[in-house]
């Protein structure tokens, strides 16, 4: 019985009311836990599904976190776990965890043209460096 309960298709979800949310599977973005700093924050609603590894910045008008462009000087960290923020700006904000220091796998950082774009541009606001040979050649961003 314990084996079948561990499979996703055999789990009964509790009924709830409200709009359907997209389930976001957990992805490990950390290469190492040494020197890791994680802070809490609130994501601005209406951004859709955000995957783990999205660069985040503070919105100047609301002080809520929004997705940032790679290479931006305003980047403050990376989303630790994926979340569905909904499609409407009227939804309440969603709490999240942000990695603000540590070693993050380049293969999971969400950049405009994939990890190659991140290798080229880096993240200026975090003052880090990329070790392209680490993580079996996928690269690691230390900041």
pLDDT at 44 over 50: yes
Residue 110 dihedral angles phi and psi, to the nearest 5°: -85, 105
- Asked if residue 3 is part of any domain, the answer here is no
pLDDT of residue 7: 54
- Give the CATH number of the domain where residue 104 resides: 2.40.300.10
- Asked if residue 9 is part of any domain, the answer here is no
Domain that holds residue 63: 23-142
Q: What is the pTM of this model?
A: 0.74
Instruction: Answer for the pair 59, 93: CB distance below 8 angstroms, yes or no.
Output: no
- Asked if residue 15 is part of any domain, the answer here is no
DSSP 3-state assignment of 81? coil
- C-alpha torsion 90→13→49→119, nearest 10: 150
pLDDT of residue 19: 61
Distance of alpha carbon 9 from alpha carbon 18, whole angstroms: 22
How many domains, the chain?
1
Mean pLDDT of 121-141: 75
């Amino acid at each position: 019985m314990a084996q079948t309960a561990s499979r996703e298709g055999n789990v009964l979800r509790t009924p709830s009311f409200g709009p359907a949310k997209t389930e976001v599977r957990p992805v490990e973005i950390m290469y190492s836990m040494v020197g890791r700093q994680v802070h809490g924050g609130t994501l601005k609603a209406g951004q859709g599904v955000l995957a783990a590894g999205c660069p985040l910045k503070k919105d100047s008008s609301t002080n809520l976190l929004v997705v940032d462009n790679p290479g931006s000087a305003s980047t403050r960290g990376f989303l630790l776990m994926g979340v569905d923020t909904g499609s409407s700006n009227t939804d309440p904000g969603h709490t999240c965890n942000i990695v603000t220091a540590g070693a993050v796998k380049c293969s999971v950082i969400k950049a405009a043209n994939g990890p190659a774009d991140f290798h080229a541009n880096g993240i200026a606001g975090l003052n880090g460096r990329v070790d392209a040979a680490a993580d079996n050649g996928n690269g690691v961003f230390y900041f």
